[in-house]
Amino acid sequence: MVKLEKVSFAYPGGGKPIFDQFDWEIGSAQSWAVLGPSGGGKTTLLYLLAGLVLPQSGCVTIAGQVLTRPRPQTGLVLQDYGLLPWATVAQNVNLGLQMRSFYGPDGKHAPRPAVALPAQTPDFWLERLGIAEVAGAYPGQLSGGQRQRTAIARTLVLQPDLLLMDEPFSSLDPVTRKDLQSLTLQLWREAQFTFVVVTHAIEEALMMGQSIMILGGTPGQPRVNQLANSLFGQPLDRDSLPYRQLFDELQARLGAN
Amino acid sequence: MLLNQPVLPTPLVVGIALIRELGRGELPLHFLASLWRVLASMLLSVLLAAPAGLVLGQSPRLNRIFSPFIYWLYPIPKVVLVPVVLLFLGIGDLAKIVIIFLILFFQILVLVRDQAAALRPELIQSVRSLGAGRRALFRFVYLPASLPAILTALRQSVGTAVAVLYIAELFATRYGLGYYIFLNGSTLLNYPAMYAGIVLMSLLGMMLYFGVDGLERWLCPWLRAGQPGGNPH
């Protein structure tokens, strides 16, 4: 589904490359967590997957097509500030559809209708994400959890086949965070999209990713490796030995230089 | 006799004069002339300054080039340019509109620029990921984002604009509240009529201020939406 081949990337004027000849393959409907410290390039990796930045060399291929611009079937949920402050929840959720009718199905900004899958309406997603009662409110009036639910609803209305999330729950309180983590996993199981979530929390990576991509090391000397998550799908018990072992392993790979 | 009129007539006398002058047909024309000049300059300034502010706000490179000019031109009290503008543009409506335009233009330009520069990149990236190109970004992000700035700038400067209009209308014109006030005060010595003109000009200022305020309430409802338990964004 997603393939990065020999991708090298450095920000202009930034000096050392963040990624150098980086390879990665993500299978369809898989769930990956990208784990790394702040400033370690996780968001950059996500932006590369989203087509918001382009690699200096190498290429990113999604569903067989080389990525040259943001892809209409890819959904992106950022940590915060993704919603239009001047639009209500209902209007925000509807924004993607508005965008598509603004351009028409040109294949560039909006997908050409290839599969006749019935799409769910924005109202369905408002209900599904539990924000139907605040449909008329503005983002400034919502809690962090409600804002993220709105952002997720807005993305899912467009039936993405690839969902990218950048530390979506890190600014939420632990209870809301757990709620939304479970909800997102449930939605993933229902809709079967390919899922990549970026996080700096090891526990979140263990909860959300079938496989974990670890971006460790230091900027300029990145160390990248992957791990299959043997604990995926099971309720996480912090006191159990498998959990502690996996946790320590990840921690070691994160910090190792 | 007119020369015996007190310099400070009672409100009742002014009220009567106002009604009488409005009825005579001359005062409404002066009011409309002033109103037209202010509205025209407001429209012109928004149409030119808003896009310019958006461009400067989103392009650090262009902003670096123009910033020094704006920095030096912005604080100049535009009222001192009245004689210059009249010299170049003559005595018609255009000169007066241009003078007010100059005041409003810089206010709107600076506020829109700062608002556009403050747009969070995460917002732009999120909307781009929904498939938005430049046109959609303008329509769905930049335009609504700059509305509060435009309306605030208008609201802040409409007072100065009316004041400068008054001064501009003192020179070589036959219609306008400034002319009317000055004529009745200095030449005709018809103080009640002068005060009637002053009242009307004050009303003009208030009308414009509350008009812009009303526009802001109507077009920017999210600014006044309360925050019950949510984080301020």
pLDDT exceeds cutoff 60 at B230: no
For the segment B8-33, the average pLDDT, to the nearest whole number, is 88
Q: Which domains does chain B have, with CATH numbers?
A: 25-221 (1.10.3720.10)
User: How does pLDDT run across A174-225, given as a tens digit for each residue?
Assistant: 999 999 999 999 999 998 999 999 998 999 999 999 999 988 766 555 667 8
pLDDT at A216: 73
In the three-class reduction of DSSP (H, G, I as helix; E, B as strand; rest coil), residue B213 is classed as: helix
Own/partner pairs for B194-198, CB < 8 Å, 24+ apart? B195/B9, B195/B14, B195/B17, B196/B14, B196/B17, B196/B18, B196/B21, B196/B27, B197/B21, B197/B27, B197/B30
Domain ranges of chain A: 1-73+162-239+247-257, 81-159
CATH superfamily of the A1-73+162-239+247-257 domain? P-loop containing nucleotide triphosphate hydrolases (3.40.50.300)
The interface predicted TM-score of the complex, written ipTM, equals 0.85
- Nearest chain A residue to B125, by CA: A52
B52-71: per-residue pLDDT in tens?
Answer: 998 898 888 999 999 999 99
* Residue to test with chain A: of B119, B124, B125, B218, most A Cβ within 10 A: B125
3-state secondary structure chain A: CEEEEEEEECCCCCCCCCEEEEEEEECCCCEEEEECCCCCCHHHHHHHHHCCCCCCEEEEEECCEECCCCCCCEEEECCCCCCCCCCCHHHHHCHHHHHHHHHCCCCCCCCCCCCCCCCCCHHHHHHHCCCHHHCCCCHHHCCHHHHHHHHHHHHHCCCCCEEEEECCCCCCCHHHHHHHHHHHHHHHHHHCCEEEEEECCHHHHHHHCCEEEEEEEECCEEEEEEEECCCCCCCCCCCCHHHHHHHHHHHHHHHCC
Element (H, E) at B124: helix B121-129
Contact (CB<8Å) B129/A70: yes
Q: What is the pTM of this model?
A: 0.83
- Chain A residue with the nearest C-alpha to that of B136: A99
State yes or no: pLDDT of A236 exceeds 90.
Answer: no
The chain-wide mean pLDDT, for chain B, equals 87
- Indicate if the pLDDT at residue B231 is higher than 60: no
From chain B, pick out residues whose CB is under 8 angstroms from the CB of A85. Answer: 222, 233
Residue B1 has pLDDT above 90, yes or no: no
Predicted confidence band of residue A112 (pLDDT cuts 50, 70, 90): low
A89-93, A120-124, A243-247, B81-85: range with highest mean pLDDT: A89-93
Q: How far is A76 from chain B (nearest CA, A)?
A: 6
pLDDT at A221: 58
State the average pLDDT over residues B210-222: 93
Predicted pLDDT of residue A229:
87
Q: Collect all residues from B whose CB is shorter than 8 A from any CB in A.
A: 120, 122-123, 125-133, 135-136, 139-141, 144-145, 147, 220-222, 225-233
pLDDT of residue A113: 58
pLDDT of residue B232: 39
